Chains A and B, each alone.
Chain A
């Protein structure tokens, strides 16, 4: 019976690779490229050992330890040590996310959509699907490790040697493989794909948090997190291999567990109970807006927590800002000096711009959810009842405006509260809030662009994301690249008053709002005229 459990694994491996022939290379090359670019940027940013040493001092701050992990080699902070220390954890987190997404995609999602049933009806082993997915992920993580290592070595930077680069690359690969294992186990435990994905990502976040708390307070705690393990590899300084081997071993154990669980479970079932839902709808669901809110509730809460957290983590560095900036030429370039304001005050609009653009992502998602509903034939259910198109579109608009308001408020609150707690000189909380809300009209304008596309060119709604990416590029890096002023005016975010270093410009805010209303109105007209459906 058990002899044929893995039949057809080889063929399925080729099948997985065929399905991911673009996705996988894009992920892998991105990781290698970003690691190399950051290392190169550090070479340019910090011209000499003194400047790096100044950076090393700020790394002793517990807030930084919580964010990127305990510092090592701080007494001789080479470019290699700097890159590995500041980048490993974040990159490992994203590598983990890649592994989770890919594993769930090839296991539970396929299962839910009935594709595994088709495959299993062929002369293919019961465990072949999972084993082929895991083997592909193992290969992908090894390629990722080598690719990253060699692209770092290829930079030819003195302190970035082969040995250290290999340790760095394989630390990433090992972290990735652990989360491939986590996702594979979650895919067996959960009753459906969405649950499996949620559980895996929750474990990834938990691993990050446990390590953050552990690194600051009690190192034993950090040993509970696989992200804590790989940080102990100390690439480019001590080059320890044993934490990496330990992580690999952990990954293998998880995978073995996943295979075992898969072998004893029925297709389509899980080990965690699937709770019975409500037989009747709550009153709050029973309106177009109620439905829109309910469908986006989870995402809304997650993004809210995210922006609050980002605000708080920016706030935690505000205290060290003055000393931090004096040492970094680049940062000084990014912020136009102005008289009468402290560096901290000048930095606030930059932080706000970044958080506002980030907060625009869930806002646009709220509007464009309409498109998803339409594509999946679910808008038809609503519009075939006595609900007008204006009412439907209006509900999505209301959700978007609410989202924008909440995101900006939470970002300001996180930044203000934590910032004031860390700084010696307090800044008024109202100033933080005003600085954030100044971005609301710009968000309205982005909503207007999205509605315009929804009304007249529903197949081109993706363009609004490009516009947002362009806005980010221009606003965040505009100072660095010394763009001419008109380039900044190509995005609504370029018209926002930089509080506190500028007075609030109500005329600009009003103009942005008027433009937003006009775009929205044109979009609504189009939406009322066109066919609904693909």
Chain B
């Protein structure tokens, strides 16, 4: 059963459609990556799922319940870390963590101390003195000290240093091992690649690609690095070949999955002396979706809504 699901979710701010028929589904024990550029609708989707914004159309459900009507019930089992974290300047980090944990209903003191130590946070300082990273730590500590079934994390590591990013990843892996689900919005693609089972790419309020990383890669094709005795001619005209680059006397290019056989046959005529193949990285996948439509991307990056 899906822990979290949206069906044709649409959210309009006046005439502007921030979300236009978004469908995502997070299963139990799954880490689901949600990627897309700024202003694509990631935060809006999460806010609708948390019952903070009301959907214009479509459905948003968590644990099979309506995320608007049953918000309070749902939130007992959900931990959320917002993207922009503003805290109360005159409360200390420790006070805010306690408040957050209490308002969800649980209280796990051992875990709180452990998390504070691991994330290296000084809980006696007032929130006004915290940097962005420290404010994120406060929200993450509150989230991970709560015993919940679903974590909704909106760009949780954008202010953390690499050391802390690793601590964060450890906790995500641990939660996953305990069978918990995580919806992770991010644009740190290496992190998504490392942690996520499934990925959805959103652009201008629409999901343009979704599936496991393997499926996405399969859809996209393979990166080949080839060195030949004779120079390859006419490669650019072949069907399914893109992104040709010269690299230290070798050629690197991407081949669509359906055309691999055909392309290998063609280049073998030129006397292959070295061939390496690798799956495309998430970054290459991501870029492929955006570079082709640079104009559209620019108009889509309409800032935070």
Contacts and interface: CB of A to CB of B under 8 A. Distances in A.
A85 B15 CA distance: 61
A383 B100 CA distance: 10
B240 interface: no
B302 to A, nearest CB: 15
Nearest to A276: B124
B103 A281 contact: no
A30 interface: no
B57 to A, nearest CB: 14
A262 B105 CA distance: 47
Interface stretch (B34-42, B88-96, B207-215, B247-255): B88-96
A131 B92 CA distance: 34
A112 interface: yes
Contact of B73 (A192, A274, A386): A386
Contact of B75 (A281, A386, A532): A386
B51 interface: yes
Given A377-B86, A378-B88, A281 B52 contact: no
A530 B54 contact: yes
A385 B128 contact: no
A286 B102 contact: yes
A385 B103 contact: yes
Interface in A243-284: 274, 276-282
B150 to A, nearest CB: 12
Given A291-B99, A378-B86, A386-B75, A277 B125 contact: yes
Contact of A281 (B72, B82, B94): B94
B54 A278 contact: no
Contact of B88 (A274, A282, A295, A531): A295
B84 A194 contact: no
A386 B125 CA distance: 26
B50 interface: yes
Interface of A: 112, 192, 194, 274, 276-282, 285-288, 290-291, 294-295, 376-378, 380-388, 529-533
Contacts of A274: 126, 129
Contact of B80 (A276, A279, A384): A384
Nearest to A298: B90
Contacts of B104: 385-386
Contact of B124 (A194, A279, A285, A291): A279
B90 A194 contact: yes
Contacts of A382: 103
B265 to A, nearest CB: 56
Interface of B: 47, 50-54, 71-73, 75-76, 78, 80, 82, 84-92, 94-100, 102-105, 123-126, 128-129, 139
Nearest to A381: B100
Contacts, number: 108
Contact of B84 (A112, A281, A377, A388): A377
B47 A286 contact: no
A137 B247 CA distance: 64
27 contacts: A194-B128, A274-B129, A277-B124, A277-B126, A279-B92, A280-B95, A280-B98, A281-B95, A281-B96, A282-B95, A285-B91, A286-B98, A286-B99, A286-B102, A295-B88, A295-B90, A377-B84, A377-B85, A377-B86, A378-B86, A380-B47, A382-B103, A384-B82, A385-B103, A388-B71, A532-B53, A533-B52
Contacts of B76: 386
Nearest to A378: B86
A110 to B, nearest CB: 15
Residue of A281, A290, A385, A387 most packed against chain B (CB within 10 A):
A385
Nearest to A192: B128
A287 B50 CA distance: 20
Given A281-B94, A294-B91, A380 B99 contact: no
A278 B86 contact: no
Nearest to B90: A194
A288 B91 contact: no
Contact of B50 (A294, A384, A529): A384
A534 to B, nearest CB: 9
Nearest to A529: B54
Contacts of A288: 103
Contacts of A529: 54
A379 to B, nearest CB: 8
Given A277-B125, A281-B94, A532 B52 contact: yes
A514 B71 CA distance: 31
B89 A194 contact: yes
Given A280-B95, A378-B87, A385 B124 contact: no
Nearest to A286: B102
A290 to B, nearest CB: 8
Nearest first, the 3 A-B pairs at minimum CB distance are A277-B92, A281-B98, A281-B95
Contacts of A386: 72-73, 75-76, 103-105
A533 B76 CA distance: 22
Given A277-B95, A277-B126, A386-B75, 17 more contacts: A112-B128, A194-B90, A278-B95, A280-B94, A280-B98, A281-B96, A281-B97, A295-B88, A377-B85, A378-B88, A381-B82, A381-B139, A384-B82, A385-B80, A385-B103, A386-B105, A388-B72
